[in-house]
Chains A and B, each alone.
Chain A
Amino acid sequence: MNSTAAGTAPRKLDISKLLIESRAFLALALIIVIFSLLSPNFLTVNNLLIMSSHVAIFALLSLGQLLVVLTGGIDLSVGSILGFTAVIAGFLLRGVPISMFGVTLYPNVPAAVLIAIVLGGALGLINGVLVAKFKVAPFVATLGMLYVVRGFALLMTNGRTLNDLSGDEALGNTGFEWLGFNRVLGIPAGVLIMAVIALVIAVVLGRTTFGRWLYATGGNERAAQLSGVPVRSVTIWVYVVSGLCSAVAGIILASTLTSASPTAGNTYELTAIAGVVIGGAALSGGRGTVRGTLLGAFVIGFLSDGLVLIGVSAYWQTVFVGAVIVVAVLLNTLQYGRPGKASRAGRKTGGAGTPGEPGGPGEAGGPSGPRAPSDPGGSSESAEPAAPAGPAGSAGPRSPSSD
């Protein structure tokens, strides 16, 4: 007399199920159509590429967040880690004075970038160990990290933005802005990096042991453990990857602006979570895909940039993004049942939208923006939304860029 009432009637909801499952895709299509009608500049290759490079920052955070959410956890520290690693990179590029010898050390760009990224991973490791080993609730552990890391970023810079990170030919540390400004085959470097990372994560989720372990851990930790899944190390690793993704996003952002603000990435953790949720992942764990998360990030990014483009105030953007998030969560509820009941298998018909369905590598490529990689710069340079527009229009990177 368990609750395994077999789902006998999965048929009748097929159409609405389809709509729900592809909601992120439909939302994105809708956004593109509406903004194309409202502004002739929206659907130009150049604008799409520019918006995509804004999206790349959030998408990277969302991808790391997705892994954490798949375990049933949450990572609130991604925005702070983004800001911190940007500051670290900026700090290193402006030279590290070593007072003992009276010299200043100028690490070259790859070294600075590498150090910053490793640091991001290390911060993620602390999160992971707190959660997996010391059983601190993910929300609390990463909330603490959010404050501590932000505090260090502010301390290191005295609250000021580190400007002019383009380096000096003589010191051999030039080229940092490459990530933010250069294009490969017409595609912004940041977008390419995001696509590569998305592809790697999609393959890991769909085609590796670790991916399977991850879905099992999030779906039912106890059962996973009894099946020999090393639940603890899986949990630690997802936070490490989330930290690494945040660091990469931080580097790209700093490179785009050739400056590093200690407040960069403020509230980005919420955008990252929103992307994951809009992409159809269940916050209770075990369900979610890279494809969905990318779509979610693009929905948010295109929505806020589009609103800027047609001249809607930043305050309205906030309202719209909020509404989209709530609608997405509502649809999640329809798809998976109430969050609290997620573990009661019985009632769900046919385990809708099984996440582990190895989507293979193809899963990642699809929506990553640039539909027409050729023909760069052919279109008008006109309405270019300023730096990566934080959807919340808050302390984002816009202000520091002009210091």
Chain B
Amino acid sequence: MNTAADAQHPARDVVLAARDIVKTYGGTRALKGVNFEIHRGEVTTLFGENGAGKSTLMKILSGVEQPTSGQIELEGEPVSFATTTEARDHGIAIIHQELSLAPNLSVRDNIYLGREITHGGRVDFAEETRRTAALLEDMHLDVSPSALVGDLRVGQQQIVEIARALSIDARILIMDEPTSALAAKEVEILFGIIDELTARGVSLVYISHHLEEALQVTDHAVVLRDGSMTARGRREEIDLDWIVRHMVGENFDLGSPPRGHEFGESVLRIEDLTVRDPENPERAVVDGVSLEVREGEIVCVYGLMGAGRTEMLEAVAGRGEIAGGRVLLRGEDIAAQSLRERLSRGIGLVPEDRQRDGLVQTMTVGQNLTLASIKQFLHRGFTSRRAEEDLATGLIKDVTVKAPGPGVGIGSLSGGNQQKVVIGKVLATRPDVMLLDEPSRGIDIGAKAEVFGLLAERAREGLAVLYSTSEIDECFSIAHRIVVLRRGSISAEFGPDAAKADVMAASGEVVTS
């Protein structure tokens, strides 16, 4: 079992080590035997593309999930965490990408939530307040312990979350994309805090898509790709090139954009589209975006998380409010139409989160596939079971869903096949434009290739595709044109032969020097 003991075994400064961690979900192997070490008082950064297994690994280290096989060692002793509470008792805290604070409670109550300081059953609020104030001062956060968390800015909430982790004397702190919601100034503060923490002997695991930013704080880099560790190195041995090279690797060939067909007329035209942040109307999440997609053309919208891709696609599809600009479908302004009207006129959206927005979990594969096109199997106002089954079976074949038949529950399919069901549902409406929001998220590389094949085929038949992604390689495998979105605006536009580094630079991910 413990074959990885050859790695400079219990090196004095290794606090936490993962040995041969394997994690499978159904048939998918998310982690394929990862070895990973965290050093005392250092920042270890995990690099990897979406789906490389970073989050899964962190969930295992923090007790959210259990490994299928493999071992975790804390200070050289094997440990296992059945729950996050157990991990916390061992001094491991995780700060998730999505904050887990209760907005209706005060900063103090959040920090001591579940571990209130009590005397004889009564909470000692004074003591809690005092300690919270001290913690916040450490964090250079100028808010009152009794302020409601919901009233704080996201960046401040992030720091409260860190304060909470520290209040339990965390020895190991895992931060998953901590800067994605932070302003530049807040990032500086966070990095200052990280320096102070490491000086105190706290070990950090840091995950970020902002490679450059991560390089500023990291002492140690580990790169994951497709569930395996591909490289590791100390800060002085590595640079951006090294990271990107190991992240991307010799690629599984996803093919190249479909060629040999002419683009038709313009189908979708977006003019000066502006969408405001519903929580902060001052901020435009999509800021004056204009673009056009022609028949048969696949346009990639590339950008980091939070660049406004989702908001843009949803605004085009008819969800969420448009603050300004026009959306033209074959020359006609449809900005005032409902999502339902737009869908029937030929704009279909494959949403980012298929569990939340794409699938009805209580329904079968067939019912999900045909949900948006019930009209097609109505006879005299009633659904025809035969026609429905024919339609569903045809769609299953069309989008190559691996399912025994349309009658099985949607939950029994793998992520990739579920995604194909969502795509099939939109295709069933015979759209003119298909919007896909990170459709490859959480699906394996084989399914990804199949999805790409499907899109290429449809594009040849004249479908206009607007494809949003944060994975650079996808752009080059599928796009006729790459539009880079950065902080809500288009920062650059490239053809299919652009240099990868240039595209990444335009998104703000890597700064070419």
Residues of A within 8 A of B (CB): 1-8, 10, 203, 206-209, 211-213, 215-216, 218-220, 222-230, 282, 285-287, 342-352, 354-358, 360
Known: A351-B410, A354-B409. A228 touches B344 (CB 8 A): yes
Which residues of the other chain, A, contact B477 by a CB distance below 8 angstroms? none
Complex Cα spacing A222 to B412, Å: 21
**Could you tell me which B residues sit within 8 Å of A by CB distance?**
25-27, 30, 51, 53, 55-56, 59, 317, 319, 339-340, 343-344, 349, 351, 354-364, 367, 371-372, 374-375, 378, 381-383, 385, 407-415, 418, 425, 429, 442
- A1-B30, A208-B382 known; A356 vs B409 contact (CB < 8 Å): no
Contact A4 B339 (CB under 8 A): no
Please report the C-alpha to C-alpha distance between residue A8 and residue B25 in the assembled complex, in whole angstroms: 10
Nearest to A207 among chain B residues (CB) is B382
**Contact indicator B360/A219 (Cβ below 8 Å):** yes
Number of A-B contacts (CB under 8 A): 165
B418 proximity list for chain A (CB < 8 A): 4
B411–A346 contact, CB under 8 A?
yes
Residues of B within 8 A of A350 (CB): 408-409, 411-412
Chain B residues closer than 8 Å to A356, beta-carbon distance: 362-364, 367
Task: Determine the distance from Cα of A219 to Cα of B59 in the docked complex, in whole angstroms.
Answer: 28
Q: Could you write out 30 A-B pairs with CB less than 8 Å apart?
A: A1-B51, A1-B55, A4-B25, A4-B355, A4-B411, A4-B413, A4-B415, A6-B414, A7-B409, A10-B412, A208-B382, A211-B383, A216-B363, A218-B362, A219-B362, A222-B356, A222-B357, A226-B317, A226-B319, A227-B372, A228-B340, A286-B361, A342-B362, A345-B359, A349-B409, A351-B364, A351-B410, A354-B363, A354-B407, A357-B407
A4 contacts B26, C-beta separation under 8 Å: yes
Q: In the complex, which residues of chain B have a beta carbon less than 8 angstroms from the beta carbon of A225?
A: 319, 339
> Least Cβ distance of B226 to chain A in Å?
12
Contact A226 B411 (CB under 8 A): no
Nearest A residue to B414 via CB reads A6
- Closest partner residue, chain B, to A231 (CB atom): B340
Asked if A287 meets B362 with Cβ closer than 8 Å, knowing A4-B414, A348-B409, the reply is: yes
In whole angstroms, how far apart are the Cα atoms of A10 and B407 in the complex?
14
Residues of B contacting A343 in the complex (Cβ-Cβ under 8 angstroms)? 355, 361
A8 to B26 CA separation, bound complex (whole angstroms): 7
How far does the alpha carbon of A201 sit from the alpha carbon of B413 in the complex, in Å? 31
A358-B385 in contact (CB<8A): yes
Give the distance in Å from the alpha carbon of A203 to the alpha carbon of B319 in the complex: 32
CA distance A29 to B354 in the complex (A): 42
The docked-state distance in angstroms from the alpha carbon of A282 to that of B362 is 10
The answer on a CB contact under 8 Å between A228 and B412 is no
User: Could you say which of A2, A209, A227, A354 contacts B375, with CB atoms under 8 Å apart?
Assistant: A209
Q: How long is the Cα–Cα vector from A33 to B418 in the complex, in angstroms? A: 46
Tell me whether B362 and A358 are in contact (CB under 8 A). Answer: no
Partner of A5, one of B26, B51, B364: B26
Cβ-closest chain B residue relative to A7: B412
Q: How far is the CA of A8 from the CA of B410 in the complex (A)?
A: 13
Chain B contacts of A286 at CB under 8 A? 360-363
Chain B residues near A208: list those with CB within 8 A.
Answer: 381-383
CB-nearest residue of chain B to A288: B362
Q: Could you say which of B25, B349, B358, B408 contacts A351, with CB atoms under 8 Å apart?
A: B408
